[in-house]
Chains A and B, each alone.
Chain A
C-alpha cells in the first residue's frame, strides 16, 4: 500500500469535513464531539444524530481501535487499486465509539482478522491530502 499510494484516489472534500482533513494533513485524527450528549460522531454533519444538537467541537481521537469486519479485495475498481491488490478494506471501531472504513496497511496486513487491535497512520494521496489508514498492533 505504501508504493504508489499517491496514485490512489483522493477523497471528495465536503465542507462538513474541513477540520477532519486539515487535521489528517498533520497526522492527527479528529472527530466531532457533541456538546449536547458528549458523544463522538462520524460521518461529520451539522446535527448530532443521537441528540440533535448543533453544538460541537472537533476533538482529538486516540487513533486506537478494533477491527469490526474486513474483506480482502481481489477485484479492484480501477488500475491504481489493481496495482496493490489484494488489499484489505476494514471497518474499525474506534475507542471513542465511531466506526470508520480504512485499509489495513503494513507488512502483515493480509493476516488481519476480526477483533485485531489497530492504530491509525496517515497515507498521502497527492501533495495536499492525507487519508487515515490503520496498522495492526496486536490480535
Chain B
C-alpha cells in the first residue's frame, strides 16, 4: 500500500520539438537537471535511477549508461521497457523502493531524440516492431494500423464517430497553443482533421501523435523530505497496473482493456473515485485512445467518451480538463516520453500558477499511461496534499 508513501519533488521536460544539436542522452540529462533544480535537490542526493529505453540510441544497459553520463553511482538502478506505460511503471518502482527504504531519492528520466536521431522512414520502421514478427508484420501493418483496428471495432460497437475523435485532436492543439513550451502550431478544426492525409483508416495524420525530440524527468522521494523542497510536492495517492497482452491480435476484446483494472487499483489505493478527479492527463498516441481510457477509468460512461471531448467538457475551463499541456498529439512524444510529460504537467497543474492553461480546481489529478497497443496500463492518482 503506497498511498502517501512517496512524493514527486521535482518535475521537468527537456526542450521539446526538434533539437538536432542534442543527443538523446543529453535530452535526458537536461530534463534531469531541470527536474532536480525544480525539486531543490541535487545529483548528490540521488541514490536511485530509473530510465526507459531508446530506439535511436539502443544501449544494452541504458540505466547504467545514464548513470555513467550523469556521473552518479546509484545503489538502485534499472531500465524498464513497457512502452508508453514505462513512466508510470517507473514511478511505481520508485515508490516501492522508497516505501521499502531501499532508496531515498529516485530520479526517473525517459525520452529520446526520435525526431532527428533517425530518418522519418526509420522511425516508422522501428515503431513497427511492436507488431509480431511472424503473425502480424508480414501483413504490412504500421503502428497506427493496430490502433485503427481498435478504433474501427469501437466505432462499430459503440457508435463513436470520426468527428468525436477529431475533437480530441482539436482540443489537444488548442491546449498546446496555450503552453509556452509546446512547439508552435496553427489552430485546427474538426474539418482539418477529417481532411488530413489518411494513414490507416479511420486514422488520419492529425489523429496521430507527434514524433519529437524530447525527454522528461521526475524526482521521487519520501514524504520526510517534503519540508525542504524548492516547490510544493505532488503526493502519490494511488497507482495500479495491468498488462493483458502485447500484440493486438492477442487482445481478448478490442473494446475492453486493462485500464479498467489499473484504474480500479489506483482509485482503491487512493480511497477516491472518478468523481474526485479534478483534471486528467490521458495517453493520447491516437485520438481514439483517450476516448477509450476516459470510459475505462470511469470518467465517462461506456460509449460516452467521445461526447466528453465533443461537448467541450474536456477543455481547460470545462467540467473535466484533459491533456492540458497538449498531449502526445500536440505537445511531444519521443519513445517513452509522452506519459512522463503528462506526469510533469499534472505536478505543475496541482501546484497552480500555469497561467492561461491553469485549471480552476487542482487538488486531485489522474494520469494514465499506456504501452503497446492498449496492452500495458499504469494509472496514477496524484494529490496536491496527502489524502
Once A11-B134, A114-B153 are accepted as A-B contacts, the answer to whether A74 and B139 lie under 8 Å apart by CB is no
Q: Which residues of B contact A131 (CB under 8 A)?
A: 138-139
Among B140, B144, B202, B203, max chain A CB count under 10 A is at: B140
Q: Which residues of B contact A68 (CB under 8 A)?
A: 153, 254
Size category of the binding interface on chain B: 20 to 34
16 contacts between A and B (CB under 8 A): A9-B137, A11-B133, A12-B133, A42-B135, A69-B149, A71-B201, A71-B202, A72-B200, A75-B144, A89-B141, A89-B149, A100-B135, A100-B249, A101-B249, A103-B139, A114-B153
Q: Which residues of A contact B140 (CB under 8 A)?
A: 8, 73, 76-77, 81, 84, 87, 89, 103
- Evaluate contact between B199 and A74: CB separation under 8 angstroms: yes
Among B125, B134, B137, B202, max chain A CB count under 10 A is at: B134
Flag whether B250 is at the interface (Cβ < 8 A).
yes
Closest approach, in angstroms, between the C-beta of B129 and any C-beta of chain A?
10
Flag whether B186 is at the interface (Cβ < 8 A).
no
- Evaluate contact between A89 and B249: CB separation under 8 angstroms: no
CA distance A81 to B137 in the complex (A): 11
| Given A70-B152, A73-B201, A89-B145; 14 other pairs, CB 8 A cutoff | A11-B137, A14-B134, A68-B254, A70-B149, A71-B202, A71-B203, A73-B140, A75-B142, A75-B200, A77-B142, A101-B139, A101-B141, A102-B139, A103-B139
Flag whether A48 is at the interface (Cβ < 8 A).
no
- Evaluate contact between B249 and A43: CB separation under 8 angstroms: yes
CA distance A123 to B136 in the complex (A): 15
- Evaluate contact between A13 and B134: CB separation under 8 angstroms: yes
Flag whether B225 is at the interface (Cβ < 8 A).
no
Partner of A8, one of B134, B138, B199, B200: B138
Once A11-B134, A91-B249 are accepted as A-B contacts, the answer to whether A72 and B201 lie under 8 Å apart by CB is yes
- Evaluate contact between B201 and A69: CB separation under 8 angstroms: no
Q: Which residues of B contact A100 (CB under 8 A)?
A: 135, 249
CA distance A74 to B145 in the complex (A): 10
Among A11, A14, A71, A100, max chain B CB count under 10 A is at: A71
Closest approach, in angstroms, between the C-beta of B84 and any C-beta of chain A?
20
- Evaluate contact between B141 and A69: CB separation under 8 angstroms: no
Flag whether A22 is at the interface (Cβ < 8 A).
no
Number of interface residues of A (CB under 8 A): 35
Flag whether B206 is at the interface (Cβ < 8 A).
no
Flag whether B329 is at the interface (Cβ < 8 A).
no
Q: Which residues of A contact B (CB under 8 A)?
A: 8-14, 17, 42-43, 68-78, 81, 84, 86-87, 89, 91, 99-103, 114, 125, 131
CA distance A75 to B208 in the complex (A): 12
Q: Which residues of A contact B142 (CB under 8 A)?
A: 73, 75-77
- Evaluate contact between B254 and A69: CB separation under 8 angstroms: yes
CA distance A13 to B132 in the complex (A): 11
Flag whether B197 is at the interface (Cβ < 8 A).
yes
Closest approach, in angstroms, between the C-beta of A123 and any C-beta of chain B?
9
CA distance A10 to B135 in the complex (A): 10
- Evaluate contact between B135 and A101: CB separation under 8 angstroms: yes
- Evaluate contact between B156 and A69: CB separation under 8 angstroms: yes
Flag whether B124 is at the interface (Cβ < 8 A).
yes
- Evaluate contact between B136 and A101: CB separation under 8 angstroms: yes
Q: Which residues of A contact B139 (CB under 8 A)?
A: 89, 101-103, 131
Q: Which residues of B contact A43 (CB under 8 A)?
A: 132, 134-135, 247, 249-250
CA distance A114 to B51 in the complex (A): 41
Partner of B138, one of A9, A74, A75, A87: A9
Q: Which residues of B contact A84 (CB under 8 A)?
A: 140
Once A9-B137, A131-B138 are accepted as A-B contacts, the answer to whether A74 and B198 lie under 8 Å apart by CB is yes
Q: B102-139 toward A: CB 8 Å interface, digit per residue (1/0)? A: 00000000000000000000001100100011111111
Flag whether B248 is at the interface (Cβ < 8 A).
yes
- A75's closest neighbor in chain B, by CB? B199
Closest approach, in angstroms, between the C-beta of B89 and any C-beta of chain A?
23
- Evaluate contact between A73 and B135: CB separation under 8 angstroms: no
Flag whether B150 is at the interface (Cβ < 8 A).
yes
Q: Which residues of B contact A86 (CB under 8 A)?
A: 198
Partner of A125, one of B138, B141, B150, B199: B138
CA distance A15 to B137 in the complex (A): 18
- Evaluate contact between B201 and A74: CB separation under 8 angstroms: yes
Q: Which residues of B contact A114 (CB under 8 A)?
A: 152-153, 156
CA distance A131 to B247 in the complex (A): 18
